[in-house]
Structure 1
Amino acid sequence: MARWLLQILIISSLHLISLSSQKETRFVFEDFLDQEDLYLDASAKVHPNGILQLTNTSKYQIGHAFYDKPLELGSSFSTHFVCVLVKKQNIEGGHGIAFIVSPSMDFSHAQPTRYLGAFDASTLESPSSHVLAVELDTIWNPEYNDIKGKNHVGIDVNSPKSVAVAPASYYSDIERKNESMNLLSGEPIQVWVDYEGTVLNVSIAPLKVKKPSRPLLSHPISLSEIFPNISKLYVGFSASTGNAVSDQYIMWWSFSTDRGSLQRLDTSRLVELPYLTGTDKKLLALFIILFGCLAIVVSAILA
């Protein structure tokens, strides 16, 4: 009896030592001006005001942004970010943004359009691709288990074919029901991804809404089955365009391997979004000129 108790104590002690040896990693980008820990490629860039842009309204683009230090993702991690997808006037918006977990930051093989810059046709559904993605997709691809409609959130494992998918919405704790969201509204969207044990939870909400009490997606996931080495993984974002195009931004990003220490969002400190681009700026300038001419004419008549 005493020997059995001693064995339990030894095993429990070793387990606690193992848990305590896992170093907590925590970071936050309130803006992206400090790029020391940021890896960007392809069309991704940081604006002078600190906002991160993954793609613009040009066709067949890919943009990636990663925290450039490998992380040990054990039994849990949490991330919270704010993104904005702005479609070009009179053109279909697409293709979307994905939060990525990968053993590498090299996505030179990836393709744009429906592959979201994270996958490619040759590795479709292949375990060798080793990618976990949470997608905010704005194009309907029925061959990838997408829900009918251009506005959905999905969990992808090694493939753009989602293992879990739901229409873009959030649970309103005030109304006690799901409220739909338009991913291409041009308004900031909050996204939470929480991994605990063997379950991945995903939630979204408008900027002024607190984290919903019920996740939009909840799906069993085992990181150790997806990745051969969970002690060296990278986290970041991927986005792409095709014939359908959008300006796709990340405004703020917080991450922690300890769910309880995830830094909270202060909306008053968010960077401003450069909404007016291209045609919008020309239209605004034309409106100002016409309004000025009208004001001069009215003033002359009154005089």
Structure 2
Amino acid sequence: MRDTDFPVTSSILFLRRPQVTAIAVVTAFVGVTAFLVANELHMQQVPDSFEAISLNLDFVRWTLIAGTVAVAELWYCYRHLGANHPPASAGDDTDTEATHTADADISSADKTAKIESYQFLGLPNIVTLARGALFATLAGFAGVTPIYSIAWLPSLLYGIGSALDFVDGSLARTAGRQTVLGAKLDLTFDSLGFLIAPIVAILWGQLPVWYLLLPAAQYSFKIGRNHRRRRGLCVQPLPASSVRRPLAGLQMAFITLALAPIIGANLIEILAMAVLAPSLITFIRDYLVIADYI
């Protein structure tokens, strides 16, 4: 399929390889954040004290965790590069209204037709990959001891990644470049962000451990639905909802706030209960709907 997102010139022929573009995007974001972390941890200095050695070890742990998540994201992207094409039909719903609703439609779009893939990865997918790279760099902070000089970085990384969630979809619709790959990446990175960010916040003492009920409910929903499909049990489509997308946005905003060192732990715990409860209720209700219990 001729891709019209970019002019075909000799200077950008490398962009015809989506793998190269994906590596470049993820490496760039991880590399820039690594430079910021190294600079704040004073990695340019020769360790001459226990504190300096500890900072060096923090950077090693950050690199290992962030690098592992980034490689996993690239592997997932490579695995699904064949889905870099429009949905099989106009009726296929690849809307990412909620992080647990569109997987069935994406899978059916892959299976119902063989459509020629785009030559280029495309700007919307690049933005989505940038989100994934930001979440990978955020994951690295799970291995870092909280210090004042980097206290704002996790909140900034997750906040920017969450904001881009509203950009990639708009770009895809505006440019007429909605793809099955983009929907897959968007759903996966949404789920990954909802897992990584709370873990970092908990390890940094900024969220209670029980807030992990959010990613637990999300992944339990997906596992339960897939289990029903494998057993040939009834799996009803979810009806449209006016609350899923706002609730997801609310969670993103709250987690960004919780990662920022500006609110005390007691107030955050109260807010966490208020924010978490409606999301858990929604996941339970949605599972009962797809299982045809209600």
| TM-score, length-scaled by structure 2 | 0.24
- Between Structure 1 and Structure 2, the one with more strand by share is 1
Compare CA radii of gyration and give the structure with the larger one. 1
Structure showing the higher helix proportion among its residues: 2
RCO higher in structure (CA 8 A, sep ≥6): 1
